[in-house]
Amino acid sequence: MQLYPLKIVTVVGESVIMEDIAERGVELGATGYTMSEVIGHGSRSARNVGSTAGGAKTLKVEFVVPTDVATTILDEISHEYFEHYAIIAWLSDVSVMRGEQYTRKSGG
Amino acid sequence: MQLYPLKIVTVVGESVIMEDIAERGVELGATGYTMSEVIGHGSRSARNVGSTAGGAKTLKVEFVVPTDVATTILDEISHEYFEHYAIIAWLSDVSVMRGEQYTRKSGG
Amino acid sequence: MQLYPLKIVTVVGESVIMEDIAERGVELGATGYTMSEVIGHGSRSARNVGSTAGGAKTLKVEFVVPTDVATTILDEISHEYFEHYAIIAWLSDVSVMRGEQYTRKSGG
């Protein structure tokens, strides 16, 4: 059984922006994503992610990707969304079963 | 406060197969699991995990287990499910509070 | 794009206690949390987290925090909740986008 070192990019934010981010992630090289509903609560210095005050639904999106795609997605989020939206994004190390298929070949 | 190095095995796939995989995980040595509903979207080279086209519900299952149990579960998934079902599975490193209880003794 | 090494503390347990734990986490230094509903199943030696027998809802809470806050939260959970409630808690390493904002300054 083969395990392949990859990254998970996790992004949490308001649902309206997260559908955009999910699509952008795929355009930037992710082979797919999973999305789930969460309740977000931020206080003080951090952004208020998914405050229930406004009634906005909060979504978590995860991409299983190679390091270079992870960096590209985080760069995009940092530049295009971070200033204007309440978003948290992080990177984790994972070992993926038959993970070589998540390295999408360019030029397809 | 004791922290104990363990693995989390995360598996994402169609609900019908995930209930099976959750039970198999416990048979293979996991002391339990958590399960949550997600929306899955795969494209191009990767399997289409939880396509909404078919209306199938997608579930994520997580097992907190020692390394040997993690490997056994992933082997089983790789051999028994991977060829015929849209599944993603990965391994993460975690430090678990009083984690020694997740190392199930055999022969019980 | 800056990535900042932080910890995620993940806690899974019955909903009644998890709302308490989420608030305690913020009191102990977390700048926020995300919460999601899961199905928990424990067997044999491990605690029965979120048994459906009692119909109790199971919640997962996640805090993105510096190491010292992570340790403080896990200590509190270990001492105040672990003996009397079915709880699983673990720590993961993550690299957080503009993560310096999750290091809450004291005395604010």
How many CB pairs below 8 Å do chains A and B form together?
83
Chains that touch B (3 or more CB pairs under 8 A): A, C
Let me know if domain B3-42+56-94 sits in CATH 2.30.110.20.
no
Average pLDDT over residues A13-36: 94
Contacts of B26 in chain C (CB under 8 A): 41, 43
Total residues belonging to chain A = 108
Q: What residue type is assigned to position B51 of the chain?
A: S
Q: Cite the beta strand spans of A1-108 per DSSP E.
A: 3-14, 32-42, 58-65, 87-97
Q: What's residue B45's pLDDT?
A: 40
Residue of A3, A16, A7 whose CA lies nearest to A90:
A7
What three-state secondary structure class fits B97? strand
Question: Do A31 and B12 count as a contact with CB atoms less than 8 A apart?
Answer: no
Question: Do A50 and C34 count as a contact with CB atoms less than 8 A apart?
Answer: yes
Best mutation target, B8, B34, B62, B101, to test chain C (most C CBs within 10 A): B34
Closest partner CB to A94 (pick from B42, B87, B92): B92
Question: How many other β-carbons are positioned within 10 Å of the β-carbon of residue C81?
Answer: 19
ipTM of the complex: 0.86
pLDDT in tens, A43-88: 534 444 544 444 568 999 999 999 999 999 999 999 999 888 989 9
Q: Are C58 and C37 in contact (CB under 8 A)?
A: yes
Taking the CA of residue B98 and the nearest CA in chain A, the distance in Å comes to 23
Q: pLDDT digit of tens for each residue in chain B (108 aa)?
A: 789 999 999 999 999 899 999 999 999 999 999 999 999 888 544 444 544 444 568 999 999 999 999 999 999 999 999 888 989 999 999 999 988 888 865 433
- Give the DSSP letter of residue A103: S
CA distance B44 to A101: 10
pLDDT in tens, C46-101: 444 544 444 568 999 999 999 999 999 999 999 999 888 989 999 999 999 988 88
Let me know if domain A3-100 sits in CATH 3.30.70.120.
yes
Q: How is chain A split into domains, by residue range? A: 3-100
CA distance A107 to B31: 45
Q: What's residue C105's pLDDT?
A: 56
Question: Do A45 and C97 count as a contact with CB atoms less than 8 A apart?
Answer: no
Report domain C3-99's class. Answer: alpha beta
